[in-house]
A and B are shown apart, each in its own frame.
Chain A
Amino acid sequence: MDQLASTQLLLSALVLASIYALVALGLNLIYGTMRLLNVAHGELMMLGGYTSFWAFELLGVGTLWSMFGAIALTAALGALCYVTVFRYVVRNRELAARLESNSLLIFFGFSIIIQNGLSIAFSADQRSYTYLNGIFALGDARVELNRLAVLGVGAAATAACVLFFRFSRLGLATRALIQQRDAASLVGINADRIQLLVFCVGFGMAGLAGSLVSMTETVTPFGGFPYTISAFIVIILGGLGNLTGGILGAVLLATIEIYGVALTSSAYRSILVYGVFIAILFLRPQGLLGRKMR
């Protein structure tokens, strides 16, 4: 049982929590402001992952630099996506009437396009590279430097985003939009501009997360879906649209995965994850920190 108290496990849980928090953040922003279910979120991560992979392979540029490229690429894609498709979707009354299922399908379409586009462009090979793989010893724990980088960058980016949306003017406007859509437009908040911003930040954070993960895992065109599911679990646990709740959800999920598994057996990893998720929703249908749905 002393394994439970080890720094090794604590570090793993923190790394996992920070990546989940970052992945979930982008998803939460887009759902919160516009009620869109982005099931292509994991595929955006893979785009970020490929950016860092190729930057390293072709240009010899490290992930800590190429991650900015990944953010730029996915954020631009977010802007494109909003301007060409979703501006129309949220304005069209017929489409907006069933926004959740319609957005689910549109993003499902996007995920198929990205997966197979990547597969055509780069083949389905599993891609990986070695970067920052020195071992850092902390007491009796040993951890690869790239995992510490994931932890540091992930946590910093998540914190920066949460603070931005909590305290900046634009952030306040966004939160107003999340909480009271109609009232927000009455007080003169430019919803269109905010939605564009949210798409850029939401997609960009997914790209950043993918870029970080590419240091520790392999990148494939089809590797995004598990992350999409994890991200949804995190934001639902925390309450949709609640950014702080998302962090709590991420910590909870990482704790189940690392300590739940260490306590019981790794055979039950997925049963535990989904079981806790289901139990929480059965008991609190609006998530841990979510407000009651009307």
Chain B
Amino acid sequence: MKTRIFSLAGIAVLLALCIAAPQMLDAYSLGVALQLLSWIALTQSWVTFSGLTGYVSLGHAVFYGLGAYVMALLWQSAPLWEILLGSGFAGALLALVIGYPALRVSGPYFVILTLGLSEFFKYIVIAVEAGLESSGRLIFGAPDPETLYYIMLLLAVVATLLTWGLARSRWGAGLRAIREDETAAETLGVPVTFLKIAAFVISAFIPGVVGAVWVLRTTYFEPMQLFSPTTSFTIVTMAIIGGSDRAPGPIFGAAFIVLLSELLWARAPHVYLVILGVLLVSFVLFVPKGISGQLAWLMRRRRA
């Protein structure tokens, strides 16, 4: 009970800090915070599907890129909120359409299939843009970073609550059962297909909105960069480093990578990425539960 009150108070303080951040931070740090929040939201959304089901998606960049594309197309032709929601629904709709056939594929086949799907839609967008004779889309009059920060904060909070809520719900239990043994779960009456697709669709909504906000930040849409597979790889990295099936995991994972990058990239541009690679490998080898799993384990041991 006591720890519960402590953690609730901790969360309240953290949230208050997040809300006050734009007043306290300089422009650059606000940019970093914006980036951090976007990664938290993306990684959380990945965890709601991949973390729980064990279906490792290497294609989350497609929802992100699609959201960005919707924003680039519709900017200034509708109110901001409507386009943001539209971007989210575009991501979710895509997940719904590809969900059924894609989720019949499993294991490593699924990993590479999602990467292939992401690349496929990237090149579709490139071809469409070529057909429209558009050569990159420049966005003028984007909202200031503070507004974007609060939208992103909202997204990160919603995504975290989603993971948290889903993990404790009956659905969450069903999804975990799929991860442990899909055939057994199905025999026991878990609506496997429905649950998988539902989780996939939910996890595609947030990246759509995040992509839309991010393209307002960069003010330029170009498919090769916004659909880049690097985004998908980074999400998976953050999720695994943070610990991938509980809500605090993505927050730790994203914070760790973003802050580490901040610490290193300006000081040692070339060596930084090598260090990042070494750290990544060491993490998988020596902290296989992820940061949040390791912390929980340490706390349990202290109590015992």
B201 interface hit (Cβ, 8 Å): no
Contacts of A37 in B (CB 8 A): 108, 111
**Contact status A229-B105, CB under 8 Å:** no
- Chain B interface mostly: helix
Contacts of B143 in A (CB 8 A): none
Closest to A94 in B: B288
Would you list which residues of chain B between 50 and 70 have a CB under 8 Å from chain A?
54, 56, 58
Chain A residue total in the interface (Cβ 8 A): 48
Q: How far is the CB of B130 from chain A (nearest CB, A)?
A: 7
Would you list which residues of chain A between 139 and 182 have a CB under 8 Å from chain B?
none
A105 interface hit (Cβ, 8 Å): yes
Contacts of B107 in A (CB 8 A): 100, 293
Closest to A113 in B: B277
**Contact status A282-B101, CB under 8 Å:** yes
A281: which of B58, B105, B236, B277 is its contact (CB, 8 Å)? B105
> With A95-B284, A271-B123 known to touch, is A100 a contact of B274 (CB < 8 Å)?
no
Contacts of B109 in A (CB 8 A): 236, 240, 281, 285-287, 290, 293
Interface string of B119-132 (1 = CB under 8 A from A): 11001101100100
**Contact status B284-A109, CB under 8 Å:** yes
**Contact status B120-A271, CB under 8 Å:** yes
- Chain A interface mostly: helix
B278 interface hit (Cβ, 8 Å): yes
B113 interface hit (Cβ, 8 Å): yes
Q: Which of these binds chain B: A44-52, A70-78, A116-124, A204-212?
A: A116-124
A101: which of B56, B112, B229 is its contact (CB, 8 Å)? B56
Closest to B179 in A: A98
Known: A116-B274, A267-B130, A278-B113. 5 other contacts (CB 8 A): A105-B280, A112-B280, A233-B112, A274-B120, A285-B105
Residues in A lying within 8 Å of B, measured CB to CB: 31, 35, 37, 85, 88-89, 92, 94-95, 98, 100-102, 104-106, 108-113, 115-117, 119-120, 225, 229, 232-233, 236, 240, 267-268, 270-271, 274-275, 277-278, 281-282, 285-287, 290, 293
Nearest first, the 4 A-B pairs at minimum CB distance are A112-B277, A109-B280, A274-B120, A113-B277
